[in-house]
């Protein structure tokens, strides 16, 4: 969510371990497609930090690592009313 906010996007939906973010809503920018890609790269970078050994509370090495999968739609979209604090 930090990456979304960094590029002036909006977190529209959080469901379990997934989110849907809108870049260019509520405020559109000429470079929204680039901002969307930068947001995705920021998410991938954040996952790298979460997998770093310093974040492992038990101090042991685990074979399982957190992963991120994302998709970016860079076309036009129609967005309804956006309500709520940081959303």
How many domains, the chain?
Answer: 1
Binned average pLDDT, 10 residues per bin, the chain of 87 residues? 92 90 88 94 89 64 78 82 58
- In angstroms, the CA 25 to CA 79 distance is 8
HEC string for 12-64: EEEECCEEEEEECCCCCCCCHHHHHHHHHHHHHHHHHHHCCHHHCCCCCCCCC
The CB-side HSE value for 1 (13 A sphere, CA atoms) comes to 9
Q: What is the pTM assigned to this prediction?
A: 0.74
**Would you state the pLDDT for residue 87?**
45
CATH number of the domain bearing residue 43: 3.30.70.1230
> Which structural domain range is residue 13 located in?
1-87
- In angstroms, the CA 62 to CA 35 distance is 33
**Would you state the pLDDT for residue 6?**
93
């Amino acid at each position: 969510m930090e990456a979304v906010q960094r590029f002036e996007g909006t977190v529209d939906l959080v469901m379990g371990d997934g989110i849907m973010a809108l870049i260019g809503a509520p405020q559109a920018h000429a470079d929204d497609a680039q901002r969307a890609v930068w947001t995705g790269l920021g998410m991938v970078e954040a996952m790298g930090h979460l997998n770093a050994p310093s974040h492992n509370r038990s101090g042991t090495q685990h074979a399982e690592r957190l992963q991120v999968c994302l998709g970016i739609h860079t076309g036009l979209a129609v967005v309804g009313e956006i309500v709520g604090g940081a959303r």
